[in-house]
Chain A
Amino acid sequence: MRIACPFCGERENGEFTYLGDASPKRPNFAVDSGESPEGVEDAFYDYVYLRDNVAGYMREYWYHGGGCRSWLIAERNTVTHEFRSVTAAPGVGAAKPVQAGE
């Protein structure tokens, strides 16, 4: 399998590690008076554990640890292993003016 890193070009998959589904977003919350807000545990439970078992294209995280150390978001077909796109995670490079949890 070959992965086209946007920084390093097409590289062998042994340079990368797989993390999984890129769709769950880490819940964003403010801490008041030392306690976590109501409902945040359920949100975290979903974020940490619940995953769809996708047959077909899926957005997923790959880490180019054997190369530029970028976290990448790849659209990969889980049935054919074909990649449709590979893009850099939002924070690759310098800090970006985006909102947390986006």
Chain B
Amino acid sequence: MSGYSGSEPLGRTAALEGTTPSARSQAASASQSHRLRSGGLIDRQQPLQFSFDGKVMSGFAGDTLASALVANGVKLVARSFKYHRPRGIITAGSEEPSALVEMRSGARKEPNTRATTQELYDGLVAQSQNRWPSLRRDFMSINQLAAPIFVAGFYYKTFMWPAKFWEKVYEPLIRRAAGLGKSAELPDPDHYDKAWAHCDVLVIGGGAAGLAAALAAGRAGSRVILVEEDSRLGGRLLSDGGEIDGMHAEEWVRRTVDELASLANVRIMVRTALFGVYDGGVYAALERVNDHVPLPGPHQVRQRVWRIVAKRSVVTAGAIERPVVFPGNDRPGVMMASAVRTYVHRFAAMPGRKVALFTNNDDGWRTVEAVQQAGGDIAAVIDPRGKVPAEYQALAELSDLRVFSGGVSDVKGGVDGVRGVVVTDNNGRTQQIDADCLAVSGGWNPNVGLSCFHRGRPVWRDDIAAFVPGDSPKGMTTAGAANGEFSLGACLRDGHTAGAAAAAECGASGNAGEASEAGDEVYAISPLWQVKAKGKAFVDFQHDVTASDVTLAQREGFESVEHLKRYTTLGMATDQGKTSNITGLAIMAEATGRTIPQTGTTIYRPPYAPVAIGALAGHHRDENFHAWRLTPSHHWAAARGAVFVDTGLWKRAQWYPQPGEKDWIESVTREVLAVRNGVGFCDVSTLGKVDVRGADAGTFLDRVYINAFSSLAVGKARYGLMLREDGIVMDDGTTSRIAEDHYFLTTTTAKAGPVMAHLEFCRQVLWPELDVQLSSASDQWAQFSIAGPNTRKLLQELVDPSEDMSNEGFPFMGAREVKLRGGVTARLFRISFSGEIAFEISVPARYGGAMAQNLMIAGRDLGVTPYGTEALGVMRIEKGHVAGPELNGTTTADDLGLGKMMSKKKDFIGRVMAGREALTAPDRQVVVGIKPLDQKRRLRSGAHVVPKGAIPGPETDQGYVTSVCYSPMMEQWIGLGLVERGRERFGEIVRIHDPLRSEDYEAEICNPVFYDPEGARQRG
């Protein structure tokens, strides 16, 4: 390894400015002590600067953060979760359990980012996590001395006593000492998106098998989506090379990708990780659109969650190399053998100058040639099988390899990484070998996760000592290494067959072509899970679970894998145990004397890889958390300075503050008095509106309302109440008869949707024989309530002079179409929620804003006043009208004082169930009025009602306050409530108990109609 320069960081961007690209590239190379002089899929013409823990280094385009760190000779990158042990980079893929870093800073700070998947960009800033004050000198590493108390289940044992210490002392302590990165505390400034995609064949993973599958399915003519989590297609071919169809693997990848790109029916999505498999062929994937650049461009999203609907899927997600458990297996510099090859071959970065190899299978031996070709030394090969595989005998002799039959029993080294490897051979002799990197291969685990998301159980195969997919979800097949096919030739054939079959099943009839050919190298393995020796040997690197934790769990009775997982937290970290689960259960199998398949796996669940909540939320955040609906007069109201309130999706004007008003009560009181003494108007377009038409419309309404509508005269409106089938009140509203076969029904704002669904159910399911049709007209009409003694005067300014607006010509509860001045036809309803003379006027929604303006102009001399939902509420409480707080899903018609409306002469929804004993009991809580004895006292809703002198409690509780307001007419706070036997108790003094606000006072139960109980005003 001659020719490496020193490790002095280059550091200063300024120093590079003004130099030629090639000079910059040379300068950048100079800083990378472990970068090979040639080779690799990196662009040496594009040097990139980055910093890790404040130290500036350089890499090249095509690097990951991990490969750039390797190229710069950095071994220590993290501190472990519990013991704060120094840790390095273990893998080169998304399964990485150890090299987690904090990316970016400020609002964009993102913890627990895998350095192995983070692409390098110019100016990248990353920090190590879970250490203080620095990565090299981490104070919390004293946790290692206290290791005996941090064993599996320590939460349950060590901190038992005293109990009250848990929340205040132990938990904060543990949380500070253990953990991963810290998340940003500022709102995320980036955008995220959600999108749908549809295809015939979804190919998951773009390695040899995936490319073969996509090509076969694409050539056959089916619509194909190929997703690959890496930025590049090729999978292990990028790291292990090989020969396909007589050409270099890289050349085959290039040609195959070119052909796929040329097919209009194939879509390739890189940087896209499939993370979920759902019912009916729906798949979820996360596309990291702009994680590989410093900032997303203008109007671009950072990540996008895809929901992909596919008729068939082919899982070609490959396999994950598994570690072997032995003391010191977590030292920085101990790396998976496949990762060593990836860094060397794909990234031209040497993880070590003297590499020891520990493998129990033939595939691990590939590492020898890879390291040697790159100019590195193989310090030794340790293979417990005791024999050099036939394929590698010539190589072993040629390079005079030191081969040991045995296992690694310890690793020497510290924060700077591996210094030596202790080998115990099969005869028990121990020897130390100098090495600065230990490549480990315990065999390969096919990636069975995606095939098991529907509770499928993987099946054990002895020949490869690994699980392969069992019952896959419908429409899914698995091919290549994910299916336990480990030779390149088999991957290509398997992928091709699966792709062609999936396309054919989707009806594609084109020629899928022939499978590409490659050799069928031998994969022989002798299972080795653990080398038993003294010292900490890690199973789960991310959660610091050791082999002895697993056996402790077994001794304490947690033998089931599901118990093992929860007791030790094995596999519960963000990596979901990709490198640890199978090994952990194998150790458990041995401890319990069962086989691995008998021991079984834990249940696999999505997501396969971590997904940020922000990505799942997409654009649905802040004010766009849900859609909003604006009333037709919204912009007019906003221009007048209205305060808006969210009611469901609607934004409604709550009140209209005037200059000088000190609080909302003053504004609302002014609005109420303006209505009661003059005239005001309020946008009530949010009410649900349904056109009911047909010969049987009256019969239909008779069955859905408790009262009769077939008897309603044309030109009249009637208040109606509908029940649920269980007898509880569902909704109320007025319904008008516009023609013999045409009714116009209104619902409350909140129940507009549910009532429509209910009415459709009644029509389509219960009474299909009725000749009736429904159409929602909620958005078609702008509706205003105009109320007050001067209402008629105001309306006369608006309606055509030919319309008779007198009390006789348009009586109370009249409803008909009228012509407005200017020619627009409106619907006018003489109904009153406020208790004053009032009309509701409906005009086509597009005239809503103009209507509000015209009401202001027409009513200028009358002092017309727009009022909001708050004044509306005050006036309805003064009149004792029930609304949402009383129609709360627990009350019957009689509870609301509307029992007499229930017709005896017909069947209607809820009639029979409403007659049940408990729903007609005399001691039910019914609607009453409530006014505090102290007239200055503010009544609060939610307060409990108990008898005077009683001690408040569940036994004495008799109801509660449902709605309150300051009543300008009564000049005090009043309310409605639901109180036991309330109607018999008008005049009784009760105790109002409000433990939530620490209030306790006396009030009088009274008639809920506080104002104008005779109802004379609204009929005048």
* B905/A71 in contact, CB under 8 A: no
Are A31 and B904 CB-contacts (below 8 A) given A44-B912, A69-B760? yes
Contacts of B906 in A (CB 8 A): 31
Contacts of A36 in B (CB 8 A): 911-912, 915
**Least distance between A54 CB and chain B CB atoms (Å):** 17
**Least distance between A48 CB and chain B CB atoms (Å):** 5
**Least distance between B350 CB and chain A CB atoms (Å):** 50
* A97/B913 in contact, CB under 8 A: no
* A97/B769 in contact, CB under 8 A: yes
* A61/B725 in contact, CB under 8 A: no
* A95/B765 in contact, CB under 8 A: no
**Least distance between A62 CB and chain B CB atoms (Å):** 11
The CA-CA distance from A40 to B915 in the complex, in Å, is 11
Contacts of A17 in B (CB 8 A): 757
The CA-CA distance from A95 to B907 in the complex, in Å, is 20
Contacts of A89 in B (CB 8 A): 764-765, 768
Task: For B913, give its contact among A12, A48, A65, A94 (CB under 8 Å).
Answer: A48
* A65/B769 in contact, CB under 8 A: no
Residues 763-795 of B, flagged 1 when their CB comes within 8 A of A and 0 if not, give 111111111110010000000000000000000
Identify 26 residue pairs between A and B in the complex whose beta-carbon atoms are under 8 Å apart, listed by A's number: A1-B279, A2-B281, A2-B282, A19-B761, A26-B725, A29-B907, A30-B907, A31-B904, A31-B906, A31-B907, A34-B904, A34-B905, A40-B912, A41-B913, A41-B916, A44-B913, A47-B725, A63-B760, A69-B776, A70-B764, A71-B760, A80-B474, A81-B280, A88-B764, A91-B766, A98-B768
Contacts of B761 in A (CB 8 A): 19, 61, 63, 71
Contacts of B196 in A (CB 8 A): 12
Chain B: CB-nearest residue to A32: B905
Q: B694 an interface residue at 8 Å Cβ cutoff?
A: yes
Chain A: CB-nearest residue to B762: A91
* A95/B768 in contact, CB under 8 A: yes
* A2/B768 in contact, CB under 8 A: no
Q: A56 an interface residue at 8 Å Cβ cutoff?
A: no
The CA-CA distance from A94 to B696 in the complex, in Å, is 12
Are A63 and B757 CB-contacts (below 8 A) given A81-B279, A95-B769, A95-B772? yes
Interface of chain A, helix or strand or loop or mixed?
Answer: loop
Are A95 and B694 CB-contacts (below 8 A) given A1-B279, A31-B904? yes
> Could you list 17 further interchain pairs (A-B, Cβ under 8 angstroms) beyond the known A44-B913, A90-B768?
A19-B761, A26-B766, A31-B905, A36-B912, A36-B915, A63-B761, A69-B757, A80-B454, A89-B764, A90-B764, A91-B763, A91-B765, A91-B767, A94-B771, A95-B769, A96-B768, A100-B766
Q: A92 an interface residue at 8 Å Cβ cutoff?
A: yes
Chain B: CB-nearest residue to A4: B280
* B771/A48 in contact, CB under 8 A: no
| Shortest 7 CB-CB contacts between residues of A and residues of B | A91-B768, A91-B764, A34-B904, A2-B280, A90-B768, A81-B279, A1-B279
The CA-CA distance from A63 to B760 in the complex, in Å, is 9
* B911/A98 in contact, CB under 8 A: no
Contacts of B165 in A (CB 8 A): none
A68-93: which residues lie under 8 A (CB-CB) from chain B? 69-71, 80-83, 88-92
Residues 266-305 of B, flagged 1 when their CB comes within 8 A of A and 0 if not, give 0000000000001111100000000000000000000000
Q: A99 an interface residue at 8 Å Cβ cutoff?
A: yes
* B765/A41 in contact, CB under 8 A: no
The CA-CA distance from A98 to B307 in the complex, in Å, is 42
B891-915: which residues lie under 8 A (CB-CB) from chain A? 904-907, 911-913, 915
* B765/A48 in contact, CB under 8 A: no
* B912/A100 in contact, CB under 8 A: no
**Least distance between B662 CB and chain A CB atoms (Å):** 45
Number of interface residues of B (CB under 8 A): 40
Task: For A41, give its contact among B278, B454, B912 (CB under 8 Å).
Answer: B912
B237-286: which residues lie under 8 A (CB-CB) from chain A? 278-282
**Least distance between B756 CB and chain A CB atoms (Å):** 8
* A100/B767 in contact, CB under 8 A: yes
The CA-CA distance from A73 to B725 in the complex, in Å, is 20
**Least distance between B775 CB and chain A CB atoms (Å):** 9
**Least distance between A1 CB and chain B CB atoms (Å):** 4
**Least distance between A100 CB and chain B CB atoms (Å):** 6
**Least distance between A51 CB and chain B CB atoms (Å):** 13
The CA-CA distance from A99 to B281 in the complex, in Å, is 39
Task: For B764, give its contact among A26, A31, A47, A71 (CB under 8 Å).
Answer: A71
* B904/A95 in contact, CB under 8 A: no
Contacts of A81 in B (CB 8 A): 279-280
Chain A: CB-nearest residue to B909: A26
Chain A: CB-nearest residue to B473: A80
Contacts of A71 in B (CB 8 A): 760-761, 764-765
**Least distance between A55 CB and chain B CB atoms (Å):** 14
The CA-CA distance from A47 to B724 in the complex, in Å, is 13
Contacts of A99 in B (CB 8 A): 769
Contacts of A82 in B (CB 8 A): 279-280, 474
Chain B: CB-nearest residue to A88: B764
Q: B801 an interface residue at 8 Å Cβ cutoff?
A: no
Residues 733-760 of B, flagged 1 when their CB comes within 8 A of A and 0 if not, give 0000000000000000000010011001
Chain B: CB-nearest residue to A29: B907
Q: B701 an interface residue at 8 Å Cβ cutoff?
A: no
The CA-CA distance from A17 to B760 in the complex, in Å, is 13
B140-190: which residues lie under 8 A (CB-CB) from chain A? none
Are A65 and B753 CB-contacts (below 8 A) given A41-B912, A90-B768, A98-B769? yes
Q: B309 an interface residue at 8 Å Cβ cutoff?
A: yes
The CA-CA distance from A41 to B767 in the complex, in Å, is 20
**Least distance between A84 CB and chain B CB atoms (Å):** 13
Contacts of B800 in A (CB 8 A): none
Chain A: CB-nearest residue to B916: A41
* A100/B769 in contact, CB under 8 A: yes
Contacts of B773 in A (CB 8 A): 94
Q: B726 an interface residue at 8 Å Cβ cutoff?
A: yes
* B726/A48 in contact, CB under 8 A: yes
The CA-CA distance from A49 to B905 in the complex, in Å, is 25
The CA-CA distance from A82 to B473 in the complex, in Å, is 11
* B770/A95 in contact, CB under 8 A: yes
Residues 1-29 of A, flagged 1 when their CB comes within 8 A of B and 0 if not, give 11000000000100001010000001101
**Least distance between B776 CB and chain A CB atoms (Å):** 8
Are A65 and B280 CB-contacts (below 8 A) given A41-B912, A71-B765? no
Of the listed residues B309, B454, B768, the one surrounded by the most CB atoms of chain A closer than 10 A to its CB is: B768
Contacts of B763 in A (CB 8 A): 91
**Least distance between B726 CB and chain A CB atoms (Å):** 5
**Least distance between A37 CB and chain B CB atoms (Å):** 10
The CA-CA distance from A91 to B762 in the complex, in Å, is 9
B980-1009: which residues lie under 8 A (CB-CB) from chain A? none
Chain A: CB-nearest residue to B770: A95
The CA-CA distance from A34 to B915 in the complex, in Å, is 13
The CA-CA distance from A100 to B763 in the complex, in Å, is 11
Contacts of B776 in A (CB 8 A): 69
Contacts of B279 in A (CB 8 A): 1-2, 81-82
**Least distance between A33 CB and chain B CB atoms (Å):** 9
* B280/A95 in contact, CB under 8 A: no
**Least distance between B524 CB and chain A CB atoms (Å):** 39
Chain B: CB-nearest residue to A44: B912
Contacts of B771 in A (CB 8 A): 94-95
The CA-CA distance from A97 to B474 in the complex, in Å, is 40
**Least distance between B777 CB and chain A CB atoms (Å):** 13
Contacts of A98 in B (CB 8 A): 768-769
The CA-CA distance from A102 to B120 in the complex, in Å, is 68
Contacts of B764 in A (CB 8 A): 70-71, 88-92
The CA-CA distance from A95 to B770 in the complex, in Å, is 6
